[in-house]
Amino acid sequence: MNKTIKFEDLGSKDFKETWDYQEQLFKAILDTKIKNRREDAGLETDNHFLFVEHPHVYTLGKSGDLSNLLLSEEQLREKGATFYKINRGGDITYHGPGQIVGYPILDLDNFFTDIHKYLRFLEECIILTLAEYGLDCIRSPGETGVWLDVGTPFARKICAMGVRASRWVTMHGFALNVNADLGYFDNIIPCGIRGKAVTSLHVELGIEKVEETEVKSKILKHFTSLFEAKFV
């Protein structure tokens, strides 16, 4: 089992370009697995982890409801935002500057074949990261992602998640609000959940800007620990 993960920080990159790149990596892993099954080739499958920041974009998962986007095409253009229907689970979410997006493209045969456990590990990675900033973040029953003050009128999501998996290969991932402009969330019903707020790390800490490089290093540290992996 290959527990080495190839790491790339793509910086700021268009959503569609990044999605296409994910699909290339995803397909290459699937092709290797198919070759191994058909020819008993014994080839090692790769794992990847991408960090990226997207320009303003709204994405709708395959089970999502388009009515949760509250903007017309013209209004999207006015806000400098784009919109895509995509092939992950979940409903609608927003990506934009000040948000750390992580895309693990893993062959779970190298780790464990359990999608539920995979999602819980992604959540735990973010929970442990935010704990280092003094935030007591938890899960919300039946609602994937990472939250604060669950069960109170002040419940708010700080990290959204949505993944796709085929033959135990994953793509898409998580979006952690670090220095995000939360006004862009007013244009959607985030994740299709009414009456729940969204927050960002800089808001919770009451500071103008959080050092994103530091947050990324903490995420990678906890990810390698949870998955017993090594980044290269």
In 181-226, where do the E strands start and end?
A: 197-198
- For residue 28, say whether it is annotated as part of any ligand binding site: no
95 assigned to a ligand binding site:
yes
64 marked ligand binding residue: no
Residue with tokens 């590990």: 121
Q: 151's torsion region: left (phi>0), alpha (psi -120 to 50) or beta? A: left
> Is 195 annotated in some ligand binding site?
no
Torsion of CA 203, 204, 207, 211, to 10 degrees: -90
Indicate the residue type of 58.
Y
Does 173 carry a binding-site annotation?
yes
Residue 131 annotated as binding? Answer: no
Instruction: Tell me: is residue 174 an annotated ligand-binding position.
Output: yes
Is 134 among the annotated ligand-binding positions? no
> Cα separation of 36 and 45, whole Å?
10
Q: What angle do CA 75, 161, 173 make, to 5 degrees?
A: 100
The sign of the dihedral angle between the CA atoms of 85, 87, 88, 91 is: positive
Has 159 been annotated as catalytic? no
| Per-residue burial over 87-123, b = 16 or more CB atoms within 10 Å of its CB, e = otherwise | ebbbbbbbbbebbbbbbbbbbbbbbeeeeeebbebbb
93 annotated to bind ligand: yes
Tell me whether residue 21 is annotated as binding. Answer: no
- Determine contact, residues 164/103, Cβ cutoff 8 Å: no
Single out the catalytic residue among 125, 137, 159, 191: 191
Residue 161 assigned as binding residue: yes
Q: Are 115 and 123 in contact (CB under 8 A)?
A: no
Residues identified as active-site: 191
Numbered residues of the known binding site: 88-95, 160-162, 173-175
Numbered residues of the known binding site for substrate: 88-95, 160-162, 173-175
